[in-house]
Structures are given as structure tokens and as C-alpha cells.
């Protein structure tokens, strides 16, 4: 039968807020209630009759409360299949009552970790009995209703009152689904605690938003996390899956420039197509746009400082999906809100997770983020000729962009402006040729530009090609067994080259 009338219930909860109306309704319906410890006393204080679990199991709570409900007379009653003759016979043989409703929540593990409690206190908040009861009841949703959070009390109460204590199969299955989400989140938080405290900020599986679609319209998509904790959305349509990928890339890139002079970046498909640092934000925007005004169409824009009305007026001329800044002046907002779908985001102060993970095959890849930013103090000049002070500034600039561009990549920059980059190429030479072609197509003079590479040069071909275009300063990690070939070419042609010692692959 689709509908199941609740005749017995097991209630054992840590959080008791809002439990009283449920207990009163169950009592009114004549439901037999089993309970433990503090929950049992709470129910008794409401005047409702309750049977201690110990009476059912003939076993006391032991090990300081670590073992209370882990008993066949409890789990047999929850997991028994009501339409299975063998299950029904075994319940009769061992005098096990069917348990139709399980109301159990979990110890506040996540809150205990966030409170900075001792490891002993944290470990004691790893729920064993509760998570087992929830999973058992959720597994047997065909016969059992499971409530795993006080947030579900209102829904359960409405169902009980509307249907005289009966719960439909669809309702039971939905409760089961929510319970497995709850248990998944709980176990993930425990895993994250043991892996690293920093990972606690990686994903909040309790906060789920369905997106219009995934990467393409035929794919479903969701976002798990708290966007409102990171941004104040001031205007525009809902962010899409691809928007979120680009926003993430933009935020991570601009973090490299958070303490610099006004800097503006334009991104497309997770890569910067324009970026510039200037004394004034308007100039930074104009020079970022000049880097690739074609790719900028439909892009993601981000600033490291407040967007003023002069800059907003220029931005408004461009079709763009999202604009991100620490703040906007009132006049700038008025202008930018002129396009109803344009998303305007104010980025809050927020620490990003220190780890990253992605699904592959039938598992997960997990790694520390690339938190190394190449600084001039770390540069080792590998050639006879050393870069000038201005060239060093451009090398730092180009290296920051290079770190956040898909590999293989070559970045060309000059005077605090991205001239072009070769992105996601299968060879470094192809990446360089792509960057040179793009720079020339937008009429940039490469004489005096610098070149950054995300990985070492196994051959001198890239420095040779760059030198012939007038590029006389290079930054790369170094570390190839054939580094000397590139060094020799640079020395023979008066090219300055520095090594950083740090590779920045990005896939």
C-alpha cells in the first residue's frame, strides 16, 4: 500500500525545539512512542506516555551513552519489510515491534568544530547510533518514515494532521532523500575535519541551488554552497553554471591584485582576455578592454576597487554578463542597472578554501590550491643580462596572469597591461604563436614586452621566437635538464631571463 499509518515511533533527538507539537499529535493519534535518555525525560515532562528503549531491548545505555539504540530489537523493527513473510515471522519469533516512524537528529559535530572545541569533545560529537537509525529508516522508506532534522517537523505535523497519521509513499521517499542528504553532509564534515581544518570551507552540501542548466542546456546543474556569504547581488538575472565558473576564475585572479593600484580584468571561459593596472580605474578598464575587445563581448568583468560613474559609463557600452567589485558608487549603479539582465555583484571579505577537488572517473582528485605568487624577491636571474626595475614589475604582472590561465600558456605583457595570451594549447610554441598573433591583430607593439610561461622551456625555440618579435625579457620556472640551451640563446641575443622555481600548471 502507498499510504502507511503510523502506529509506533522511535524518538531520540539532540535538538528538542519544536518537538512538543509532534509528540502531542502522535499521542492524540494513539501512537506508541519509544525513546531514550534526555528525549524520554522531555516527552514524559509533556505528560505523554513513553516507553524507554531499555524496556524494549532489556539492555541499559552503556559506555557513557555511546551505545543506546544499537540493538536488533530496534533495527529489526525499523528495517523489517512488512510485505515479506519471513521478516514478519522473525519479528514475531523474537518479539520485535514494527517501528513506523523514526525521529532522530545528529549530534552537532560541525558546530562543535567551529566552536574551537578540543579534539576529545569533537570526537564525542561523531554520532553513531543516530546516523545508523537515520540510514536504516531511510533505506526502508517503503514502510518507515524518517525525520532527520527539526526543520522537517512542520512538514511532518501537517501530514499527520491532514491524513489522520498516514504518510504516503511519495512523502516517505522525499523524507528519505532529505535524510541521505543530511547524512552525506554530516559524513563529509567529519571527513573534512580529519583531512584538514581548512577544508571546512570547501563545500556546504546543505545549501543547494538548482541552476537553469549545466554547462550546456541538455545538462542539469546545481550549486552547493552559500553565494550570499560571498556576494551581495545588487541586480540582474540568476547566475548560470558557466557564469559561476567564470566568476570563480575572476575572483581568484583578482586576489593576486587586491593590494595593487586600480586593476581591471575581463574574463571569458575562465581566462583573462584583458587586464590592466593603472593610476585610475577608468584607464585600467579601457586598457583591459583594448587587450581583446572582441572576446570581451559577453564576458565577466572584475575590479579590485570601487567602480565609479565614469568607468560605469564605459562599461555600459559593452555587453557583459557580470560585473564584480568591492563596491559601486550610487551613480555607477544607476548606470549599470540600465541593462536588466546584467548581474552586479559586491564581493565581500571572504577567505577562500585552501583546497580544491574535482570528480574524475569513479573518484575524486584533491589538492592544495596554488597559493604561491611569484615575487621579485624570489627571482633568480639566469642570464648575463638582468631585467630593469620596470621590466621586473611587468614580469610580476605577467606571472600573476599566467598562473590563472589554462595550460599550456604564454602571457605577453607591457607596462602593466596584458597584450595577449596563448591559452590551453597542446604545445608551448603554439601558445606563444597564438599570443603573438592576437597581440598583433590588436596593433600592439611587442618591442619591450615581457613573456611569461607557466612551465619550463625544454628547448630554446620559444625564447628564439619571442626575441625575433622584440621581446627581450622572460620569466619561467626553470628546471628543465635543457635549461642551458635557452640560457645560451638569451645570452647570445641580450635577452634577460629569470627563473622562479615554481611551475603554475592550470588544467
B/e letters for 327-346, b = 16+ CB within 10 Å, e = fewer, are ebbeebbebbbebeebbbbb
Is 376 among the catalytic positions? Answer: no
Per-residue confidence (pLDDT) for residue 192, from 0 to 100: 78
* Catalytic site residue from 7, 201, 233, 269: 269
| Predicted TM-score (pTM) of this structure | 0.65
Per-residue confidence (pLDDT) for residue 199, from 0 to 100: 43
3-state secondary structure of 314: helix
Residue 110 · residue 55 · CB < 8 Å: no
B/e letters for 118-152, b = 16+ CB within 10 Å, e = fewer, are eeeebebbbbebbbbbbbbbbebbebbbbbbbbeb
Q: Nine-digit cell at 118?
A: 578540543
β-pair type (473-476, 496-499):
parallel
Distance CA 494, CA 472 (A): 7
β-pair type (271-277, 263-268):
antiparallel
Q: Nine-digit cell at 430?
A: 603554439
Tens digit of pLDDT at every position of the chain (507 positions): 589 999 999 999 988 888 999 999 999 999 999 998 889 999 999 999 999 988 887 777 777 766 766 788 888 889 899 888 998 898 889 888 999 999 999 888 888 888 888 888 988 888 888 899 999 999 999 999 999 999 999 999 999 999 999 999 999 999 999 999 989 988 888 887 876 544 444 556 667 788 989 999 999 999 988 888 889 999 999 999 999 999 999 999 999 999 999 999 999 999 999 999 999 999 999 999 999 999 999 999 999 999 999 999 999 999 999 999 999 999 999 999 999 999 999 999 888 888 888 888 877 788 889 999 999 999 999 999 999 999 999 999 999 999 999 999 999 999 999 999 999 999 999 999 999 999 999 999 999 999 999 999 999 999 999 999 999 999 999 999 999 999 999 999 999 999 999 999 999
Q: Nine-digit cell at 159?
A: 501530514
Distance CA 206, CA 15 (A): 18
Q: Nine-digit cell at 49?
A: 506516555
Residue 154 · residue 146 · CB < 8 Å: no
The strand order across the sheet containing 8-12 reads 51-52, 32-35, 8-12, 101-104, 145-147
Distance CA 133, CA 266 (A): 51
Distance CA 440, CA 424 (A): 19
The neighbour count for residue 268, using CB atoms within 10 Å, is 20
Residue 140 · residue 78 · CB < 8 Å: yes
Angle at 430 between CA 301 and CA 403, to 5 degrees: 40
3-state secondary structure of 52: strand
The neighbour count for residue 102, using CB atoms within 10 Å, is 29
Is 139 among the catalytic positions? Answer: yes
Per-residue confidence (pLDDT) for residue 204, from 0 to 100: 61
Per-residue confidence (pLDDT) for residue 1, from 0 to 100: 54
The helix/strand count (H/E) of the chain reads as: 18, 23
Tell me how far CA of residue 398 lies from CA of 292, 303, 392, 401, in angstroms: 16, 17, 10, 5
Under DSSP, the state recorded for 203 is -
3-state secondary structure of 366: strand
Give me the sign of the Cα torsion angle 244, 246, 249, 250. negative
Per-residue confidence (pLDDT) for residue 73, from 0 to 100: 84
Per-residue confidence (pLDDT) for residue 206, from 0 to 100: 64
Per-residue confidence (pLDDT) for residue 283, from 0 to 100: 98
* Catalytic site residue from 15, 139, 155, 493: 139
3-state secondary structure of 392: helix
Amino acid at each position: 500500500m502507498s499510504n502507511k499509518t503510523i502506529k509506533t515511533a522511535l524518538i531520540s533527538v539532540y535538538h528538542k525545539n519544536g518537538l512538543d507539537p509532534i509528540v502531542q499529535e502522535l499521542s492524540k493519534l494513539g501512537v506508541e512512542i519509544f525513546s531514550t535518555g534526555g528525549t524520554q525525560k522531555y516527552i514524559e515532562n509533556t505528560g505523554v506516555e513513553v516507553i524507554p528503549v531499555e524496556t524494549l531491548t532489556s539492555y541499559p545505555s552503556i559506555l557513557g551513552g555511546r551505545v543506546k539504540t544499537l540493538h536488533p530489537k530496534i533495527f529489526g523493527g525499523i528495517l523489517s519489510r512488512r510485505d515479506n513473510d519471513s521478516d514478519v515471522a522473525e519479528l514475531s519469533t523474537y518479539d520485535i515491534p514494527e517501528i513506523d516512524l523514526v525521529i532522530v537528529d545528529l549530534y552537532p559535530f560541525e558546530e562543535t568544530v567551529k566552536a574551537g572545541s578540543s579534539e576529545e569533545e569533537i570526537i564525542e560529537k561523531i554520532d553513531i547510533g543516530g546516523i545508523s537509525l537515520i540510514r536504516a529508516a531511510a533505506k526502508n522508506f517503503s514502510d518507515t518514515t524518517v525525520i532527520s532534522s527539526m526543520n522537517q517537523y512542520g512538514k511532518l505535523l501537517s501530514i499527520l494532521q491532514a491524513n489522520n497519521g498516514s504518510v504516503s509513499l511519495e512523502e516517505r521517499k522525499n523524507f528519505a532523500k532529505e535524510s541521505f542528504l543530511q547524512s552525506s553532509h554530516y559524513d563529509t564534515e567529519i571527513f573534512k575535519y580529519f583531512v584538514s581544518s581548512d577544508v571546512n570551507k570547501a563545500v556546504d552540501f546543505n545549501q543547494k541551488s538548482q541552476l537553469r542548466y549545466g554547462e550546456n542546456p541538455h545538462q542539469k546543474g546545481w550549486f552547493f554552497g552559500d553565494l550570499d556569504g560571498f556576494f551581495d547581488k545588487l541586480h540582474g538575472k540568476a547566475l548560470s553554471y558557466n557564469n559561476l565558473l567564470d566568476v570563480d576564475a575572476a575572483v581568484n585572479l583578482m586576489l593576486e591584485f587586491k593590494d595593487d593600484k586600480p586593476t581591471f580584468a575581463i574574463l571569458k571561459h575562465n581566462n583573462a582576455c584583458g587586464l590592466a593596472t593603472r593610476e585610475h580605474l577608468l584607464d585600467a578598464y579601457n586598457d583591459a578592454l583594448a587587450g581583446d575587445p572582441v572576446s570581451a563581448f559577453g564576458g565577466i568583468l572584475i575590479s579590485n576597487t570601487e567602480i565609479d560613474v565614469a568607468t560605469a559609463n564605459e562599461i555600459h557600452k559593452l555587453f557583459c554578463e557580470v560585473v564584480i567589485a568591492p563596491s559601486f558608487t550610487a551613480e555607477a549603479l544607476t548606470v549599470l542597472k540600465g541593462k536588466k539582465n546584467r548581474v552586479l555583484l559586491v564581493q565581500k571579505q571572504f577567505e577562500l578554501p585552501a583546497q580544491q577537488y574535482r570528480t574524475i572517473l569513479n573518484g575524486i582528485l584533491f589538492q592544495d590550491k596554488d597559493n604561491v605568487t611569484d615575487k621579485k624577491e624570489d627571482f633568480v636571474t639566469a642570464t648575463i643580462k638582468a631585467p630593469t626595475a620596470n621590466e621586473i614589475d611587468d614580469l610580476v604582472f605577467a606571472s600573476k596572469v599566467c598562473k590563472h590561465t589554462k595550460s599550456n600558456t604564454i602571457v605577453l605583457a607591457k607596462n602593466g597591461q596584458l597584450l595577449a595570451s596563448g591559452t590551453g594549447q597542446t604545445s608551448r610554441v603554439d601558445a606563444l604563436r597564438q599570443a603573438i598573433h592576437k597581440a598583433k591583430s590588436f596593433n600592439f607593439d611587442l618591442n619591450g614586452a615581457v613573456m611569461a610561461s607557466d612551465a619550463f622551456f625544454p628547448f630554446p625555440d620559444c625564447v628564439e621566437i619571442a626575441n625575433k618579435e622584440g621581446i627581450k625579457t622572460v620569466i619561467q620556472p626553470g628546471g628543465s635538464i635543457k635549461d642551458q640551451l635557452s640560457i645560451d640563446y638569451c645570452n647570445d641575443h641580450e635577452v634577460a631571463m629569470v627563473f622562479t622555481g615554481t611551475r603554475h600548471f592550470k588544467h
